[in-house]
Amino acid sequence: MLELTGLTAGYDGGTVLHELDLSVPAGSVHAVVGHNGAGKTTLVNTVAGLLRPDAGTVRVNGRDVGGRPAHQVARAGIGLVPQGRRVFAGLTVGEHLRLSYRPPRPAKGDGGRAARRERTWTPERVLELLPRLGERRGHRGSELSGGEQQMLALARALLGTPRVLLLDEPTEGLAPVVARRIRELIGTLAQEGISVLLVSPSPALAVQCADTVTVLTSGRVTARFEGGPLRSDPGALHAALELSPLPSAAVDGPPASKASTGTVGTGEDGAEADGALKASVPDAGPGAP
Ligand SMILES: Nc1ncnc2c1ncn2[C@@H]1O[C@H](COP(=O)(O)OP(=O)(O)OP(=O)(O)O)[C@@H](O)[C@H]1O
């Protein structure tokens, strides 16, 4: 599991993230929602080791990796799907997969068996989950749609066999049908036992995907909602974000990680809810799904 305590981080200009506490048990989804500039990407980058925390801890299964460089954090089991996907325009899908595959290191003295108990994500296994990437294997990053790029970014993170997956605005800029597929994938990965921490300006995405939602306002936790109450009263999350009132029946369906089939929002309701709620998020920008 992922556990953050007192996490404080920022830039030369000052502190952005203030003493954040948060945990993501294995097999669950925790969404952090907040408006633009709230500190969501700063949070993700600090957990991923791209930004050094000023204080606090980042624990993966009890081991503090806070302040370690990104490659060590990745080795400890934290995978990052960055905002904007960051795929290489000139490399093919197949090349991305080959370069990203990181077999677990054998532990000393275990006779060469894998160091970790999790089932390794190989390129073949990733393509089973994301068959569209197999169809596009020979295409370059620049030739992929936004949804395909998002799936490739997800594939790259999975190839490190993460225990924790960080998703920075995973449905940004995607058509509703593709955003729905991403939500389904998030549920499937949580069911595999991965701890998923996603950040997004979209309360709809959070309600549809997450077991727990934290509201981040100017780098501070200002509200937290757990599964049952979250879904029985999604308007409370809306109010915590100081958005206009929630349209009736705007949010539907069980959380992705708890759905018996591993899917969520399989009807059109989810997409409509996303659209309805996103429309009232200030400055959601062109990335709104
Ligand atoms: N590299 C940087 N150097 C200095 N300040 C930064 C840097 N990156 C972000 N900031 C500042 O930190 C604050 C939080 O930014 P951050 O990108 O974490 O917010 P966010 O919630 O992810 O917003 P968005 O939804 O727009 O991506 C903002 O005031 C931003 O200007």
* Residue 186 falls inside a structural domain: yes
Q: Specify the residue for token string 């952090």.
A: 32
DSSP helix/strand/coil, 70: helix
Instruction: Give the total number of structural domains in the chain.
Output: 2
Domain boundary (161, 178, 199) is at 161
Same domain, 124 and 247: no
From ligand 1's centre to the CA of 39, what distance in Å? 6
* Residue 190 falls inside a structural domain: yes
Q: How far apart are CA 207 and CA 211, in angstroms?
A: 8
* Residue 86 falls inside a structural domain: no
From ligand 1's centre to the CA of 103, what distance in Å? 33
ipTM over 0.85: yes
DSSP helix/strand/coil, 46: helix
* Residue 82 falls inside a structural domain: no
User: How does pLDDT run along the chain (289 residues), one tens digit per residue?
Assistant: 999 999 999 998 799 999 999 999 999 999 999 998 999 999 999 999 999 999 999 999 889 999 899 999 998 899 999 988 888 888 899 999 988 888 766 655 555 454 455 688 889 999 998 888 989 899 998 898 888 999 999 999 999 999 999 999 988 888 888 888 889 999 999 999 999 999 999 888 888 889 999 999 999 999 898 876 677 777 777 778 776 555 554 444 444 444 332 222 222 233 333 332 332 333 333 333 3
Same domain, 223 and 120: no
Token duo for residue 80:
């990052």
CATH number at residue 206: 3.40.50.300
Q: How far apart are CA 197 and CA 212, in angstroms?
A: 10
Is 46 close to ligand 1, i.e. is its CB under 6 Å away? no
Residue identifier of the C-alpha nearest atom 18 of ligand 1 = 39
Same domain, 150 and 246: no
* Residue 177 falls inside a structural domain: yes
110 residue type, one letter: D
Q: Ligand 1, from 16, 200, 205: best to mutate by most atoms within 8 Å of Cβ?
A: 16
β-bridge partners, 122: none
Whole-structure pTM value: 0.81
Find the domain containing 135 and state its range: 91-106+115-161
Is 16 close to ligand 1, i.e. is its CB under 6 Å away? yes
* Residue 136 falls inside a structural domain: yes
SS3 of the chain: helix, strand, coil, percent, to 5: 35, 25, 45
